[in-house]
Amino acid sequence: MFCKNCKKVTVCKAVDPKQVIASVKSGRRFYRTAHEDVHYFRRGRICLTCNTSFLTAEMREDFITELTDLRDALGQIKQNAEKYIEQADIAAESLKGLTSSLDGLRALRIYKKNNTQS
C-alpha cells in the first residue's frame, strides 16, 4: 500500500478505523448521503515502515475511473479558463486603445466642425 508519509509502497497493517481516528463512526461500510450510489469500505492502516496511521477506502474501480476522468476534465476546464482570462485581458487592452482612438477622432471632428463654422 502507498504510504503518504514514506512516499513509497510499503507493507501496512489493517486495523479498525477507530484505532486511527477515534471520532470515526462505527462500522466499515459507508455511503455518501448525497450520493447513495457511492458505497465504500473503510479500513484503518498502520504503515509498518514508519508507523504512520491513516484511513483508506475500498470502492468499485469504475468510480475511480470516473474520478480520474472528472479530474482530467476539470483540469482542462481550468486550463481553458486561464487562456480565456489571458485573451480577455488582451482584448480589454485593445478596447482601451480603440476607445482612445475614437476619442481622438471625436475631438478632431468637433475641431473641424468648429473651424468650418467660423
Question: Where residue 71 falls among pLDDT bands split at 50, 70, 90?
Answer: very high
* Cell numbers placing 28: 466499515
Q: Would you say 15 and 46 are in contact if contact means Cβ atoms under 8 Å apart?
A: yes
Report H helices in the chain: 17-20, 61-117
Better-predicted residue by pLDDT, 28 or 94: 94
Return d(Cα 71, Cα 65) in angstroms, integer: 10
pLDDT tens, position by position, 12-50: 999 988 888 887 776 667 767 788 888 888 889 999 999
Return d(Cα 88, Cα 23) in angstroms, integer: 48
Question: Where residue 96 falls among pLDDT bands split at 50, 70, 90?
Answer: confident
* Cell numbers placing 88: 480577455
The pLDDT of residue 66: 92
**Burial of 11 by CB count in 10 Å (0-12 exposed, 13-18 middle, 19+ buried)?**
exposed
Residue with cell 509498518: 48
Which uninterrupted H or E stretch holds 12? Answer: strand 12-15
The pLDDT of residue 26: 63
Length of the chain: 118
Q: What is the pTM of this model?
A: 0.53
Q: DSSP secondary-structure letter at 24?
A: S
